[in-house]
Amino acid sequence: QVTLRESGPALVKPTQTLTLTCTFSGFSLTTSGMCVSWIRQPPEKALEWLALIDWDDAKHYSTSLKTRLTISKDTSKNQVVLTITNMDPVDTATYYCARTRSNGGGYMDVWGNGTTVIVSS
């Protein structure tokens, strides 16, 4: 069974750096075609894809946010970490990680439950 779980602080102050961790099980990020994406959703708004890391350690970022994002993986711990610098209240959102299958489609077939982050002083 494939599962993913997001963890991180529920509250951060403006200008701080947010670090989120995705801990997964049931698949390996060393398997060809396996990736993990981060996606966020502000309250009552649409989904926004943020970043992806693949089995070969290639990294891809949202064009609009790439200067603030860093994605990394620790395959020994089955974790993917996303950092977002210079947090702002507009970054308040639920943050999801999702397994992403690049072979044959680039689709996100299993999602975590999400973690809510509020940016406020």
| 21 contributes a contact to other proteins by CB under 8 A | no
| 37 contributes a contact to other proteins by CB under 8 A | yes
Residue type, 106: G
Polymer length in residues for the chain: 121
The interface with other proteins within residues 95-114 (CB under 8 A) comprises 96, 98, 101, 104-109, 111-114
| 56 contributes a contact to other proteins by CB under 8 A | no
**Under 8 Å between Cβ of 36 and 53:** yes
Pick the closer one to other proteins by CB: 57 or 109: 109
Q: Site size for other proteins, by CB under 8 A?
A: 25
DSSP assignment of 6-53: EE--SEE-TTPPEEEEEEEESS-TTSTTEEEEEEEE-TTS--EEEEEE
Residue type, 87: M
What's the rounded Cα separation, in Å, for the pair 105 and 88?
33
Pick the closer one to other proteins by CB: 27 or 49: 49
Pick the closer one to other proteins by CB: 27 or 111: 111
Q: Which of 1, 31, 32, 63 binds other proteins (CB under 8 A)?
A: 63
What's the rounded Cα separation, in Å, for the pair 93 and 43?
6
Least distance from C-beta 82 to other proteins, angstroms? 14
Q: Which residues bind other proteins (CB under 8 A)?
A: 37, 39, 46-49, 52, 60-64, 96, 98, 101, 104-109, 111-114
